[in-house]
Amino acid sequence: MQTQTDITQLQWSDALFLNDAKTDLTHQEFIDLYQQTGAAQGAAQLDLYVELVAHTVEHFDQEERWMLAAGLNAGHCHFSEHRNVLEVMKEVERRAQQGDIHLIPNMLEALAEWFPMHATSMDAGLVAFLQTAGYDTSTETFKGPPPKIELMSTEQGCGTAGHC
Ligand SMILES: [Fe+2]
Ligand SMILES: [Fe+2]
């Protein structure tokens, strides 16, 4: 018997607001999909989970595009954290498609723990870094001349989550 996910575990709140319209919208969409997935059961839950994984692929790609544009390289800890989370999410998708649907609520529980931490540390650091660099996330362009890449260290991009 499938256990019901407690979708109240992950909810949008002011604490998650990062003051970057594109980032905040993407994060709100993620939480909306998370809640819909958690509230569903059986095949409907699997379909929504597949959507959540696809949304997360786009979500991470978007941030990684911004990081690369602002001069952070793919060896940065923010990339590897995305990679690790997505790897587990995709593995759960693969196994759920083979019948292990009970893995989805477990994954949702883990995401409820992980997401606020990631958003308020690495994503918050990234937003602050991009704002300092003059990068506009809605147009994916620099407001002024692009900053010199050599001025940006890996540590800066980690922001408040400088502990890779
Ligand atoms: Fe994010
Ligand atoms: Fe991120």
Residues 95-122 have pLDDT tens digits of 999 999 999 999 999 999 999 999 999 9
pLDDT beyond 80 at 41: yes
Distance of CA 44 from the midpoint of ligand 2 (Å): 27
pLDDT in tens, 59-95: 999 999 999 999 998 999 999 999 999 999 999 999 9
User: Residue ranges per domain, the chain?
Assistant: 19-161
Question: Which pLDDT value is given to residue 156?
Answer: 47
Question: Are residues 70 and 136 in contact, defined by beta-carbon separation less than 8 angstroms?
Answer: no
Cα 90 to chain centroid distance, Å, stands at: 14
pLDDT tens digits for range 129-147: 999 999 999 999 998 776 6
118 Cα–ligand 2 center, Å: 6
pLDDT at 160: 40
Q: Tell me the CA–centroid distance for residue 1 and ligand 2, in Å.
A: 34
Res 163: pLDDT: 40
Nearest ligand to the C-alpha of residue 126?
A: 2
Q: Closest ligand to 157 CA?
A: 2
| Model confidence pTM above 0.85 | yes
Q: Give pLDDT, residue 5.
A: 66
pLDDT given at position 161: 37
pLDDT at 155 > cutoff 70: no
Assigned CATH for 19-161: 1.20.120.50
**Hey, how many other C-beta atoms are within 10 angstroms of the C-beta on 107?**
22
For 7-24, what is the mean pLDDT?
A: 93
Considering every ligand atom shown, identify the ligand nearest to the alpha carbon of residue 55 and give its number: 1
The Å distance, Cα 123 to ligand 1 centre, comes to 5
Q: What is the chain's alpha carbon radius of gyration, rounded to the nearest angstrom?
A: 17
Cβ–Cβ under 8 Å, residues 158 and 125? yes
Contact 42, 129 (CB under 8 A): no
pLDDT computed for residue 2 by the predictor: 54
Ligand number with the minimum distance to the CA of 23 = 1
